[in-house]
Amino acid sequence: VGVILKRGLWRLHRWVFVVKKGYQEVDTSVQSSVITKLKGVAFTNTSELGERLWDVVDYVIPPQGENVFFIVTNVIVTPNQRQGMCPESFGIPDAVCSKNSDCSEGEAVIAGNGVKTGRCLKTGLVNTTGTCEIFAWCPVEKKKKPKKPLLGKAENFTVYIKNSIRFPKFDFSKTNILEINEDSYLKTCRYSKDDHYCPIFYLGKIVSWAGSEFQIMAMEGGVIGIQIEWDCDLDKSGSLCHPHYSFTRLDNKFKEKSASSGYNFRFAKYYRDAEGKDYRTLIKAYGIRFDIMVNGKAGKFNIIPTIINIGSGLALMGAGAFFCDLVLLYIIKKSNFYRDKKFEEVKSSSKKSLCVNVNGKIKSKSQNALDQLKQLQTQEEPIL
């Protein structure tokens, strides 16, 4: 048992020292910057928008983000809204009414689109309910979504992710781009797990690597995380420090049909007619948000952590021997047998330290030495 325990402790120490590089000083305070650029176009033809070509300016919101970018994949368009009076949507509980007194004038509709005017507008049938008339951008926002994502072809769009990192403790810097002077390389290459230095990704493949299907996710939207990991051994060449990519879905993909699922927001495009009156097109945009996260560490040989880890390893070996003796002497069933074997050498040496005097009495070596000293003192005393 003791041998097995000591071997295990030795392997543990070797794992910490060699595999985990316990002899290195480590810097985890990586400084990072991320730049993204998207490419791709899509053509759509809808009743609200007509024939339309979507390019980067249309579907990337905002144009510049901090380690994040958003791709519009689906929209609900409410065109030609003007400020005026119109009935509130039936889907707003606070707007449902049966008489004018249910619509207090000047009161904002809770979770609605405007302010009540004091009138209850019905469909014309007797004893039916209606909705409050409101002052708002009319007509109110449409709720019906397309059966397919408007920009389903966005899965073929590409994103270029440039990542520059620096470890200040070692003054080491690097990027995730192959350091060559040929511009054609980035125009033709695409990311693969065998090529660390082509950071151009298809959006559809990113979603697939995260465990989701692009066409399904494009309907309601969602959030994808792109993780860039740097693990640099600076005792070796800096060219061996490579970026590693991983992809995960950050929102809950198992609740795609819940009220809180997806990712969307609203924005409007404003216009002015010939009479100088403003109107707008309201767009509720669904899409996929990509969050880019960068982590990293760098290690380099340093004598201080080397000495500390060697010392801790030796102390661990000593603690292992003590623990082994504790188990064998006091816990296992055959502790008496082990105790006899452990202390056998001590008993044997104590027997050898004994000697027999002329009278047959047992004296120790220390006692014989004391008697000889007394005899010498008696011989050296002067005779008076």
- Please indicate whether residue 312 or residue 145 has the higher confidence score (pLDDT): 145
Strands 115-121 and 50-54, bridge-based pairing: unpaired
- Please indicate whether residue 248 or residue 240 has the higher confidence score (pLDDT): 248
37 is in an annotated binding site: yes
* Residue 351, pLDDT score: 46
* Residue 281, pLDDT score: 94
CATH of 26-88+140-300, one of 3.40.630.10, 1.20.1250.20, 3.30.70.20, 2.60.490.10: 2.60.490.10
**What is the rounded average pLDDT for all residues in the chain?**
82
- Please indicate whether residue 322 or residue 123 has the higher confidence score (pLDDT): 123
Distance (Å) of CA 258 to CA 38, 146, 220, 253, 254: 30, 18, 11, 10, 9
Distance CA 87, CA 75 (A): 23
Percent of the chain scored above 70 by pLDDT?
72
Distance CA 223, CA 253 (A): 9
- Domain spans of the chain? 26-88+140-300
Query: What mean pLDDT do residues 335-354 have?
Result: 57
* Residue 192, pLDDT score: 87
* Residue 203, pLDDT score: 97
**Range from 29-33, 94-98, 334-338 carrying the lowest mean pLDDT:** 334-338
36 and 292 in contact (C-beta within 8 Å)? yes
Is the sign of the CA dihedral 202, 207, 213, 216 positive or negative? Answer: negative
- Please indicate whether residue 14 or residue 96 has the higher confidence score (pLDDT): 96
pLDDT at 204 over 50: yes
pTM above 0.85? no
125-162 b/e (C-beta count within 10 Å ≥ 16 → b): eeeeebbbbbbbbbbbbeeeebeebbbbbbbebbbbbe
322 is in an annotated binding site: no
203 is in an annotated binding site: no
Distance (Å) of CA 328 to CA 179, 284, 320, 333, 384: 62, 73, 12, 9, 67
266 is in an annotated binding site: yes
* Residue 132, pLDDT score: 96
* Residue 249, pLDDT score: 94
pLDDT at 307 over 90: no
Distance CA 54, CA 40 (A): 9
| pLDDT digit string, tens, across residues 87-135 | 999 889 999 999 999 999 999 999 999 999 999 998 766 668 899 999 9
User: How many residues in total does the chain contain?
Assistant: 384
Q: How confident is the model at residue 357 (pLDDT cuts 50, 70, 90)?
A: very low
174 is in an annotated binding site: no
Distance CA 248, CA 92 (A): 36
Residue position matching structure tokens 């403790």: 169
264 is in an annotated binding site: yes
pLDDT at 380 over 80: no
* Residue 13, pLDDT score: 53
* Residue 141, pLDDT score: 95
